[in-house]
Structure 1
């Protein structure tokens, strides 16, 4: 069941500590699933952990979360080979695609190698809701800041570009993130874009920002733009609390 418009909820969150499992689905991810508008059946949610090398423990945690949340769960892995016969058909059959964090550079390279980049664009255009955290947030944008290459953050500029903005994740929790994101936007290395504190997500319909959400009190999203004098302007956005 496709969403009414191409839909992305890009986050620095989406999970919370679990009571009976290591993690539970957080309000941001639940909201992404709600956006698919599924009625009278379990929503089909497919998980991609490409950015952490399809780590088996992460995939296991997803199935624990999905069972608890009542999702019809599946995953697509690319290491050591794709685990489904037809990756395109599988992804296009989903209500929601949920992408995990890790190396966004590695994710983008593997997706290009296997044609998943083009499939994601097709799924997005077909109304499959796309969501994810960290690398799984940056990937939908034109670029952002990444630790894919080491502890000193660097720009990544070859995102899928489904939306024409850059993306700053973990904006309040990793000290390099905010100043580097602002510098890169100011210098024109990154396009103007949206940044999220931990526990915050930004919603796009088509290529336009619609609303920001948080699952943590006091956290927010921001729009960072180049100023006429060569600096940057950071605007804190109204951010709605999800429960």
Structure 2
């Protein structure tokens, strides 16, 4: 049962430490599952760990969290090879795609090799909810600030571009994030850019921003735009709804 419209939930959260398991699904993953519109059966979530190197321990932790939440979790690994010759069919058999954090630069390079960009575009247009955290948030946008190349942040501009905006993640917890985004928007390297504190997600229907939601009280979302007359960045705090 697909979502009513092409839907993306781009986040800086989604998982938390479990009480009896290593991880549990947080409010943002549950919101992504709700957006898929599934009723009468277990939701199906596809975990994509490319940005973290397809670590088996991470895969197992997500699968275990899924069991606790009553969600069927399967994994799309690219190492040592994809799970099937028909990746489109594999992805379309799920309700939600959840992309984990790590190196967005490496993720985008590997996805290009395997043609996953077009697979995810087809899934998005078919109503599979696309979601994820950090690298799994930036990837759906035009680009954003990343530590893929080292501790000093750099800007990537080769995101999948389903959403024609920049994206900033971990806005409140990593001190380089805000100034780097402001610099990139002011110079025109990034277009207008939506940013999230830890625990916050951005909901898009089609390419339109709908709302910001949070699983952490007090966390915020922001829109950074360019003032063309002064070539500076302007930041607006967005209304954020607590899940």
Q: Secondary structure at the match of 2:80?
A: coil
> Counterparts in 2 of 1:116-195, with a 5 A limit?
116-195=116-195
- The whole-number CA distance in structure 2 between the counterparts of 1:39 and 1:194 is 31
Measure how far apart 1:171 and its partner are.
0.4
> Which residue in the other structure is 1:105 paired with?
105
1:83 paired to 2:83: yes
Contact 1:48 1:76 in 2 (8 A): yes
- The whole-number CA distance in structure 1 between the counterparts of 2:59 and 2:219 is 28
Measure how far apart 1:83 and its partner are.
2.0
- The whole-number CA distance in structure 2 between the counterparts of 1:140 and 1:114 is 17
- The whole-number CA distance in structure 2 between the counterparts of 1:129 and 1:204 is 10
- The whole-number CA distance in structure 1 between the counterparts of 2:232 and 2:98 is 35
Greater shift, 83-92 or 50-59, is seen at 83-92
> Counterparts in 2 of 1:33-44, with a 5 A limit?
33-44=33-44
Contact 1:76 1:84 in 2 (8 A): no
- The whole-number CA distance in structure 2 between the counterparts of 1:235 and 1:180 is 16
- The whole-number CA distance in structure 2 between the counterparts of 1:221 and 1:122 is 28
Measure how far apart 1:85 and its partner are.
3.6
Measure how far apart 1:72 and its partner are.
1.5
> Which residue in the other structure is 1:27 paired with?
27
Structure 1 stretches lacking a partner, 5+ long:
none
Measure how far apart 1:106 and its partner are.
0.5
Structure 2 stretches lacking a partner, 5+ long:
none
Measure how far apart 1:112 and its partner are.
0.5
Q: Secondary structure at the match of 2:181?
A: helix
TM (norm. structure 2) is 0.98
Over the aligned positions, Cα root-mean-square deviation in angstroms equals 0.7
1:123-142 Cα distance to aligned partner (Å, 9 max, x none)? 11111000100000000000
1:238 paired to 2:239: yes
Measure how far apart 1:102 and its partner are.
0.3
Greater shift, 75-84 or 200-209, is seen at 75-84
TM (norm. structure 1) is 0.98
Contact 1:172 1:197 in 2 (8 A): yes
Q: Secondary structure at the match of 1:186?
A: helix
1:17-54 Cα distance to aligned partner (Å, 9 max, x none)? 10011110000110000000000000111100000110
Contact 1:168 1:193 in 2 (8 A): yes
- The whole-number CA distance in structure 2 between the counterparts of 1:135 and 1:46 is 16
Measure how far apart 1:84 and its partner are.
2.7
